[in-house]
Amino acid sequence: MKPRSSSPYLRKKDGTLSKVDELINDKNKIHRIRCRLNYNATVTNIISPSEIWVRIMNHIADTLVIPTSDAPPLETELIERKYVMTPLNEDILVRARIISVENAKVFLRLIDFGTTVWRDENAIFKMTDKLHCFPWQSFVVLLHGVIPKDGNTWSPEETDALKRTLMGFDYVWVQPTIFDNFYHDDADIPRVSLLGMNGPLQQSIFDVNGSRVSPEIYGMDRSR
């Protein structure tokens, strides 16, 4: 997997003696959703067991769009890591980040979907200030405790096996590892366990201690 560029979300306060870092709120920084506790999500894209894109169930991606009829001006500064808007279909523009630019073609990450697309330069629009205020609705995780068979690189067969497995479930129950509770850079991919889930969603069922009740109690199928 290609190394990810550093993307810290905390920094030292300037001109103070405080030991507490502050959140980066620059215009060019759109924050991620950083889940430290278990959560439900849908899988939106699988590159390998070390790069799985998920989206929480109560996402707001469908509100972070612009009708193509109200498209903002074209973006002329096409540089890596810049946030822009691009068509998802004939009707709406969605948020994206430029990964690379090659021969008048732009390679983009759709930040609310986790997928990548190629677009012509004339299909890249400026992102409005308002849409900078909301975090990415998709984010990447990697499977904890697994390694490629050859110890180095995931084979297409291994990735396809994971895709076939996860396609059999409506959504996944994501359990972050305790070791990833304190990362301070969005380039660090959280390690998780994934439990495939089918059946009705129970997002608000808690026991008296504040712990989420086991889904099997409410008829969810975790056996597949």
Note down pLDDT in tens along the chain; length 224 residues. Answer: 445 565 655 555 665 555 566 555 666 788 888 787 889 999 999 999 999 999 999 999 999 999 999 999 999 999 999 999 999 999 999 999 999 999 989 999 999 999 999 999 999 999 999 999 899 999 999 999 999 999 999 999 999 999 999 999 999 999 998 765 555 666 778 899 999 999 877 554 433 333 333 444 333 333 43
Range of the domain at 109: 62-133
What six digits make up the tokens of 169?
């479930």
Domain endpoint, select from 114, 133, 152: 133
Q: Same structural domain for residues 120 and 46?
A: no
Sign of CA dihedral 3, 4, 5, 7: negative
Q: Same structural domain for residues 115 and 165?
A: no
What six digits make up the tokens of 222?
């975790």
Q: Same structural domain for residues 53 and 115?
A: no
Q: Same structural domain for residues 160 and 49?
A: yes
How many whole angstroms separate alpha carbon 219 and alpha carbon 183? 35
Q: Same structural domain for residues 126 and 140?
A: no
Residue 51, in any domain of the structure: yes
Domain endpoint, select from 117, 133, 149: 133
Give the helix/strand (H/E) hosting 159: helix 156-167
